[in-house]
Amino acid sequence: MVRASCVGLMLLAALAGCRVIEREGANPLPENTAPLAYSDMVNRARGQASSALDAFYVDAWLDLEQAAQRLEQTARLLPKTTQIPEAFKSKVETESDLLRKDATKLLEAAHAKNAPQANEAMQRINQRVRELRAQEKVDEKK
């Protein structure tokens, strides 16, 4: 009985350890959804960029394509967000357009399984997402 209990506990611990961590933005948004807050969309883009990097690392090209498609959607919806910080209002459209173009390049590279091009696109994407962070920009002004 004790052995059965120990085996059961170990199995339960193993299952708990194997749970999938879901990142922000793992699923596409409905196209006709109400606008989200700017900070939520930037966090979504950050999660999607992280998912893309994880997929690239293990050569999961289909997962990388899906992450690129979700990131492209997030970039397209970013100018429509609410609560855009004043520091970003004048440039959010331009920056989101550049992010959208980089996501499209990532999608093309993933489809072609072109690791160097995918790597370059992800570097630009991560830099753009970093530049879009609102909180850090506010903190720098203090």
Q: What is the CATH number of the domain that holds 118?
A: 1.20.120.290
- Contact of 124 with 104, CB cutoff 8 Å: no
The tokens for 114 are 């072109």
pLDDT at 30: 76
Q: What pLDDT does residue 5 have?
A: 47
> So what's the pLDDT on residue 10?
47
Structure confidence by residue, pLDDT tens digits, 63-82:
999 999 999 999 999 999 99
Q: In the 8-state DSSP scheme, what is residue 37?
A: B
- Between residues 110 and 35, the one the model is more confident about: 110
The percent of residues above 90 in pLDDT, for the chain, comes to: 68
Domain count along the chain: 1
| pTM of the predicted model as reported, rounded to 2 decimal places | 0.76
Cβ atoms of 19 and 41 within 8 Å: the answer is no
With beta carbons less than 8 A apart as the criterion, state whether 46 and 67 touch.
no
The pLDDT assigned to 7 comes to 43
Q: What is the pLDDT of residue 44?
A: 95
Residue 77 φ/ψ, nearest 5 degrees:
-90, -15
pLDDT tens for residues 4-33? 544 444 444 444 443 333 455 667 777 777
Instruction: List, in sequence order, the alpha helices (H) in the chain.
Output: 2-17, 38-57, 61-77, 86-89, 92-112, 115-132, 134-141
Question: Average pLDDT, stretch 33-41?
Answer: 90
* Lowest-pLDDT range of 25-29, 89-93, 136-140: 136-140
Note whether 84 and 38 are within 8 A (CB). yes
> How far is the C-alpha of 112 from the C-alpha of 91, rounded, in Å?
32
Domain around 135: 2-141
